[in-house]
Amino acid sequence: MSDGAAEKALLRGELLGARRLLTPDDVSRAAEDLARQALGLPELAAAGTVAAYVSVGREPGTRALLDALRTRGVRVLLPVLQSDNDLDWAHYEGADRLEPAGRGLLEPSGPRLGPDAVLGADTVLLPGLAVDARGMRLGRGGGSYDRVLARIAAAGHDPARVVLLYANEVVARVPEEPHDHPVHAVVTPRGVTRFTA
């Protein structure tokens, strides 16, 4: 394991430990505030298509945000985890059209659009555990979103890349590896921080 990977594993453990201390009320209140902050983003207000994800467990909540985007007429794409950890995509058609999937995830039940469907997104909402002052994001370590970001970069596509986090997850420094891509902004329940990604 490289030094960067070892540092990432240590930081992941600390941040996941902090999330485990959140109560259901903490998560619910944060989700409401997060949706309000995110819906004020010009990147979402002007977007025709947003690639997003369904939060699970103690992740910063996305469900209210997904429903609000759909109500606005935004085409919302949600990931479908494939066996090789890459992501396929499908349309979000409401909470009643989500089904349980592997690893405790919820995925849309509709037709699959293919891994390249993300290339049509104006904004990509990324899950994460931390982001630093440079806009470097720390994910969970599965590599799924690293593939998505690499696919976007290879296609020359430049959607707004936004991470949704709790306020304490904006940190001074995230360990960086060569395959990591910076993001444009982080949204927390307390506000928005922009980077020059």
- Residue-wise pLDDT tens digits, 70-84: 999 999 999 999 999
Distance CA 194, CA 160 (A): 11
Confidence of residue 104 (pLDDT cuts 50, 70, 90): confident
Q: Which residues pair with 76 in a beta bridge?
A: 50
Query: Does the pLDDT value for residue 116 go beyond 80?
Result: yes
In this model, does residue 110 exceed pLDDT 70?
Answer: yes
Burial of 74 (0-12, 13-18, 19+ CB in 10 A): buried
Burial class of residue 68, CB neighbours in 10 A (0-12, 13-18, 19+) = middle
Percent of the chain with pLDDT over 90: 81
DSSP states of 131-182: EETT-BEE--SS-HHHHHHHHHHHTT---EEEEE--GGGEES-----TT--B
Tell me the domain boundaries of the chain: 3-194
Contact 88, 67 (CB under 8 A): no
Q: The domain 3-194: what is its CATH number?
A: 3.40.50.10420
What's the pLDDT at 2?
A: 63
3-class secondary-structure state, position 31: helix
> In sequence order, what are the beta bridge partners of 88?
80
β-pair partners for 28? none
pLDDT at 174: 92
Using one digit for the tens of pLDDT, what is the confidence trace for 14-50?
999 999 999 999 999 999 999 999 999 999 989 999 9
What does the pLDDT average to over 96-113?
A: 92
Q: What is the pTM of this model?
A: 0.92
Q: How confident is the model at residue 1 (pLDDT cuts 50, 70, 90)?
A: low
pLDDT (0 to 100) of residue 173: 93
For 1, other C-beta atoms within 10 Å of its C-beta total 8
Integer Cα distance of 134 and 173 in angstroms: 8
Distances in whole angstroms, Cα of residue 84 to Cα of each of 53, 70, 80, 89, 98: 18, 29, 11, 14, 21
Q: What is the pLDDT of residue 142?
A: 83
